[in-house]
Amino acid sequence: MGEKTIDFRSKQYYTNREMSWLLFNKRVLGEARDKQIPLFERLKFLSITASNLDEFFMIRVASLKDMVDAGYKKTDIAGMTPKEQLVALNTAIHDLVNLQYSTYTRSLMPQLKQNGLTVISRHEDLNKEEKNYLDRYFAENVYPVLTPMAVDSSRPFPLIRNKSLNIGALVTKKGGKAELEFATVQVPSVLQRIVPLPVKEGVRKVILLEEVIERNIEKLFLNYDIVCAHPFRIMRNADLTIEEDEAADLLKEVEKQLKKRQWGQAIRLEAEAGIDKRLLKMIVKELSVEPEEIYTIDGPLDLTFLMKMYGMPGFEHLKAPAFEPQPVPEFPQGCDIFEEIRKGDILLHHPYQTFTPVVDFIRNASCDPQVLAIKQTLYRVSGNSPIIAALAQAAENGKQVSVLVELKARFDEENNIVWAKMLEKAGCHVIYGLVGLKTHSKITLVVRREEDGIRRYVHLGTGNYNDATAKLYTDIGMFTCAEAIGEDATAVFNMLSGYSEPESWNSLSLAPLWLKERFLYLIGRERDAAEEGKAAHIVAKMNSLCDPDIIAALYEAAAAGAKIQLIVRGICCLKTGIPGVSENISVRSIVGNFLEHSRIYFFENGGNPEIYCSSADWMPRNLERRVEILFPVEEPALKKRLWHILDMELKDTLKAHVMLPDGSYEKVDLRGKQKLNSQELFCEEAVASAQKTEQEEEGNRRVFIPETHVEV
């Protein structure tokens, strides 16, 4: 048609994923800066930005550094070399950290003080009474657990643990020459970071543990004079890559790697602003930190203590009211879960709806005499997980229990190994992940022997089987006993146990086998429809979007005229508003009280809409290196509910940030629009729907029940 062809893969159409991630963290920080939000919620958001940044350093920055060290020059999706990315990140991260601390000191601290909570930032500011109290506190509680370490010719530089907070000091031997020596002590993680002072006249004051130690530091180095003492913290390279092909025993390998983790190369040094130059120089030299890796911090190091502050009793009026996940109307109290599922597929929307049915599903299966087998994938499990207990119980009850425990779940390995061993002991068949692939899919299969033969009950989800995070993460779960999905689920577990792929799949699409092709096909179908002049529409909600093939397909479909609305919480390498490429694409990110985590994909399909849920984001790692599942939701009522979720998030005006053509994000301009907070709306709806059933039950109870037996 004479149009010039557009190369949808041209690097200029893509955003670097790390920079995009920083923008996400900035959106979270935006919540901490939002005066509309209760003060303590803002503390929480600030804490989250800090822990996010820590993880980002350990994984992403670390791996970029590895690449630079290895001389790797290949460019990323946006055409940047690892070195270029590091340079860009460095400026951006410094800016972000500055913004974090200006939020802390200029906004949050004064407000806390106004609301009756004072954080003493310097121990020198304490009054005498408080000083006495703290010194006593130090002697009784802190001193016994400290391990001070000094460096001299006979003692090497000590190991500074990853992410730990330390106080470094310059000391000179008493009575000796004035030679400066280095000494350090770790701020013990076993003690509360926030030390409350006795309440006086209704004013609550707290001080941080490092200040307490710093104040008493001379008690640790009795033979020395203290020249100066300052907190510092380092971050080490922790991108744990397991050589699976070489590791004979995966389990052992993970344990080994965990021990090694503390030894990684230092990649960030945080030091208190105003740290003595000589002390800093010594630390920098010993840990071989580069100048651009040093962050001087005007405030307390490691803001994650704010999460603990959030948990302090009192101040409830400064927190958002806690939301209680609501009962699921489809599972009335005391019902037979299996019977309810037989009536039709059931959709759960967490955390608006409770996760309990999922736990009950496994718990009931574990002691149901008709149940033959339970199979489940476990990725991140909560401490004391009731699911683990139920699985172990099932094995003890003689059920065949197969559990795939993913050992490669980032930072959770230690946790997972413990569960895995426990399950094995109980008689479960435990599979420790697959070589070369992370199992990220969330699927449970219960095989039941019923009157008319074997029936399979399946739970599929977008989130982990973790009852704790199910209260914070928004996720979709579905129960079904549809034969087609049951067969596929059996095949999934057979494959996870090492058997070959079945000849064909009924409903499920699996990564890394066909999931990407499936998505490309679904997107391509909308492109074709658009080219034929038919309605073409994609709405996709996910955590991250950075797969170049998918993005190119989206550009192509959009260029052909398809309407594409993306709800991407985190990283998004796609750009909107590129003339001729992505004018038809909109991207919004919802950052709210709950962590948006569900993945929902809607395709117009020429007026016959299809809607899917998945454990997978549109990221290469999800589509190529993980076992993921995409499942269709087919019952009209459930499809309607999912559409409602997408629709409301697209209409959200309070928590949505919209991507602008320059790649930055901006909150929705409220002018002329109704205020809508989709998360709050879902909360209200969940309450309403639960109450409705309760009333109905109540109503039913008002039927007269004739007494058949009268006790005299």
Partner 1 sequence: MRNIRTFAAIDVGSYELAMKVFEFNGKGNMRQIDCLKHKIDLGTDTYAAGKISYERVDELCQVLREFVRIMKSYKVENYRAYGTSAIRETENTAIILDQIEQRTGIRIEVLSNSEQRFLHYKSIASRGENFNRIIEKGTAIVDIGGGSIQVSLFDKDSLVATQNMKLGVLRLREQLHHLNVKPVKEEELISEIVNAQLSVFKKLYLKDRQIQNIIVVDDYLSAWVKKKSVEGEDSFSVADVAAYEALMKMLRTKSKAQMASVLGMPDEKAQLLFISAVLMKCAIKVMQAEMIWAPGVTLCDGIAYDYAQKNRMITSCHDFEQDIIACARNISKRYMGSKRRGDTLEAITLIIYDSMRKIHGLSKRERLLLRIAAFLHDCGKYISMVDLAECSYQIIMATEIIGLSHKEREIIANVVKFNHSEFVYYHELQSKSIDRQAYLVMAKLTAILRVANGLDRSHKEKFTDIRAAVKDNTLTITVDTQEDITLEKGLFDNRAAFFEEVFSVRPVIKQKRSF
Active site residues: 440
Q: Give the range of 210-218, 314-322, 327-335, 443-451 binding partner 1 by CB under 8 A.
A: 443-451
Q: Do the beta carbons of residue 394 and residue 423 sit within 8 Å? A: no
C-alpha 701/C-alpha 712 separation (Å) is 25
Q: Give least dist CB 87 to partner 1, A.
A: 39
Does 521 bind partner 1 (CB under 8 A)? Our answer is: no
Task: Compute how many residues bind partner 1; rule: CB under 8 A.
Answer: 24
Q: Which is nearer to partner 1, 453 or 607 (CB)?
A: 453
Binding mask 398-437 for partner 1 (x = CB under 8 A): -xx----------------------------x--------
Min separation Cβ 516 and partner 1, Å: 10
Contact with partner 1 (CB under 8 A): which of 51, 105, 397, 494?
Answer: 494
Q: Which is nearer to partner 1, 347 or 491 (CB)?
A: 491
Q: CA dist 216 to 119, 135, 180, 207, 211, Å? A: 19, 7, 20, 14, 9
Give the residue among 559, 554, 552, 555 at the shortest CA–CA distance from 603.
554
CB 278 within 8 A of CB 170: yes
670 contributes a contact to partner 1 by CB under 8 A? no
Cβ-based nearer residue to partner 1, 67 or 552: 552
Cis check: omega of the bond before 351, within 30 degrees of 0: yes
With respect to partner 1, which residue has the nearer C-beta, 153 or 500?
500
Q: Which of 490, 507, 586, 677 binds partner 1 (CB under 8 A)?
A: 490
Residue 444 vs 586, nearer CB to partner 1: 444
Confirm or reject binding of residue 503 to partner 1 (CB under 8 A): yes
Site for partner 1 in 564-583 (CB under 8 A): none
User: Minimum distance between the CB of residue 498 and partner 1, rounded to whole angstroms?
Assistant: 7
Query: Rounded to whole angstroms, how far apart are CA atoms 275 and 361?
Result: 56
Cβ atoms 231, 187 nearer than 8 A: yes
Q: Please give the Cα distance from 161 to 303 (Å, whole number).
A: 18
3-state secondary structure of 1: coil
Kindly tell me which residue out of 253, 517, 610, 634 binds partner 1, with binding defined by CB under 8 A. 517
Contact indicator for 319, 310 with CB cutoff of 8 Å: yes
Contacts of 364 (CB under 8 A, 6+ apart): 337, 338
Q: Is the peptide bond before 291 cis (omega within 30 degrees of 0)?
A: no
**Measured from the CB of residue 416, what is the shortest distance to partner 1 in angstroms?**
23
Smallest distance, partner 1 to C-beta of residue 505, A = 9
Q: Is residue 500 at the binding interface for partner 1, with CB under 8 A as the rule?
A: yes
Using CB under 8 A as the binding rule, whether residue 36 contacts partner 1 is answered as no
Q: Which contiguous run of DSSP H or E holds residue 526?
A: helix 515-531
Tell whether residue 608 is a contact of partner 1 (CB under 8 A): no
Stretch that binds partner 1, among 67-75, 223-231, 491-499, 644-652 (CB under 8 A): 491-499
Closest distance to partner 1 from the beta carbon of 396 (Å): 15
- In this structure, the strands spanning 346-350 and 294-297 are unpaired
HSE (side-chain half, CA atoms, 13 Å) at 243: 4
Nearer to partner 1 by Cβ, of 311 and 398: the residue is 398
Residue 605 engages partner 1 in binding (rule: CB under 8 A): no
β-partners of residue 185 are: 167
The DSSP 8-state label assigned to residue 197 in this structure reads: P
Please say which residue, 317 or 425, places its beta carbon nearer to partner 1: 425
List the interface residues with partner 1, window 448-477 (CB under 8 A).
449, 451-454
- Name the residue nearer to partner 1 (CB basis): 439 or 490: 490
The span from the CA of 291 to the CA of 298, in Å, is 18
How far from 371 is each of 394, 444, 457, 495, CA to CA, in Å?
Answer: 9, 13, 10, 22
Q: What is the Cα–Cα distance from 543 to 621, expressed in whole angstroms? A: 13
How far, in Å, CA of 366 to CA of 137, rounded? 49
Window 247 to 306, contacts with partner 1 (CB under 8 A): none
Per CB under 8 A, 83 contacts partner 1: no
The answer to the question of residue 370 lying near partner 1 (CB under 8 A) is no
Assess 372 for contact with partner 1 (CB under 8 A). Answer: yes
Applying CB under 8 A, which part among 142-150, 165-173, 180-188, 446-454 lies near partner 1? 446-454
Chain contacts with partner 1 (rule: CB under 8 A)? 372-373, 399-400, 429, 447, 449, 451-454, 490-491, 494, 497-504, 514, 517
